[in-house]
Amino acid sequence: MAILVLNCGSSSAKYQLYDWEKKEVILTGGVERIGEEVSVIKHSAKGKPNFNDEFSSPTHTEAIQYILKMITDKSYGAIGSLNEIDVIGHRVLHGGEIFKKSTLVTPEVIADLKKLIPLGPLHEPANITGIEVARKLLPKTPQVIVIDTTWHQTMPMEAFLYALPMEWYTKYSVRKYGFHGTSHLYCAKRAAVLLGRKPKDTNVIICHIGNGASLCAVKNGICVDTSMGLTPLEGLVMGTRCGDIDPAIIPYMEREAGLSAIEIDTIMNKKSGLFGICGKIDRRDVEALADEGDKMARIAMDMEIRRIKKYLGGYMALLGKVHAIVFTAGVGEFSTTIRKRVLEDMAPLGVVVDENRNSLAHSRNGEFVISGSTSRTKVFVIPTDEELVIVEDAKAIIDGRYDVHTKFHYSFEDADYVNTQRQEKLREEVAENPMLEKVIARRSWHVD
């Protein structure tokens, strides 16, 4: 059984093909620059040579057509026929208050998604286009949507409401929704396993730090607060997003700079954050500049770290007892500097990082513990696997056994779960650096 995962952005389409019987990813890739004069595809299948190409993709239709062609290509593909795809799982940004969990795609579901475009004008149209194109090209293949906001539906009203007129919520759905839900779900479940606890008995704070970034407070296995809001703009300082600001800045800049609300929204989403302060987005570039003495790069790093620490401390106060802090996503998994600086001086709060462990935990192929022996709160680095959540939701839905995560069991909740592909790569990394073995968080992941 093959399960195709599609993640369509405004100018991109990422994809992954998963073999359910073998429990492994057999093909990955992505198309970038959709709508531009020349689009680019990068494609990789297990046991086949990598494939890169430039082609014309004015819309997502051409991109997905090319993806489907490559999936079945004799030299670069992984299956012989598109009929071998049993279900397609689509990542969708916003479910508003309509969707509380993943669901099978129907014409009615698509109509409801279109109603949510005002809540996600930058992402939702592309998500919907990807669904419609895939349904047109593979009309007999069942399709499922897995939505970033559904994980956060357990937040209490005092967490998701803004202190604005209630009519704004009741009439216009203005509230905090939260995002990165599939990542937070995966990491919350994995943290419970690493702690040897049931999810319902686990309190964790998840730091999903990438180009986009959000923190999530998880109490008794469910989300009770998160840093992103109505849109992914609220919260932390991100690669190009400003995060929290005084909202009065918007009318002020309309008056003083003659900018429209749409122009300001674009600036806050695409030209702010680290990029707005120092001109760089990639944390490695920002850190390198800071090390070279660039003042604004140092300030940009300080701003990002300060904001994370403020949210982290607030969530520790909100939860009371915190069993673990989890770092995940590209920056969270790889930036030893950001992890160290975020958690330094937190010993009075019961958080102590072992610097040697932190410096070793620099891989996407293992789960690591970087807290010191005196730390009352564990600190984990857990590589996220959002695609696996989509795969398992999609399979369960077509099997008729799916439910909300508190009533559903994922394979990665099992104590003996191992991602065999990651473990194989981890074995190679340990062979090169045996010290890495000492920071692996769970015995089942050890490579001896």
H helix and E strand count, the chain: 16, 14
Supply φ then ψ for residue 307, to 5 degrees. -65, -45
- Cα–Cα distances in angstroms (integers) from residue 102 to residues 9, 178, 286, 415, in the given order: 19, 16, 37, 25
Beta bridge partners of 3: 18, 87
Supply φ then ψ for residue 302, to 5 degrees. -60, -40
Burial of 294 (0-12, 13-18, 19+ CB in 10 A): middle
Nearest to 357 by CA among 347, 346, 348, 366: 366
Q: Which helix (H) or strand (E) holds 116?
A: none
- The Cα 447–Cα 376 span in angstroms is 27
Q: How many CA atoms lie within 13 A of 105 on its CB side?
A: 30
Q: Is 145 helix (H, G, I), strand (E, B) or coil?
A: strand
294 catalytic? Reply is no
Q: What's at 256, amino acid-wise?
A: E
Point out the catalytic residue in the list 19, 53, 86, 148: 148
DSSP result, 212-281: SEEEEEEETTEEEEES--SSTTSSS--SS---S--TTHHHHHHHHH---HHHHHHHHHHS-HHHHHHS--
Nearest to 148 by CA among 95, 204, 83, 74: 95
Active site residues: 148
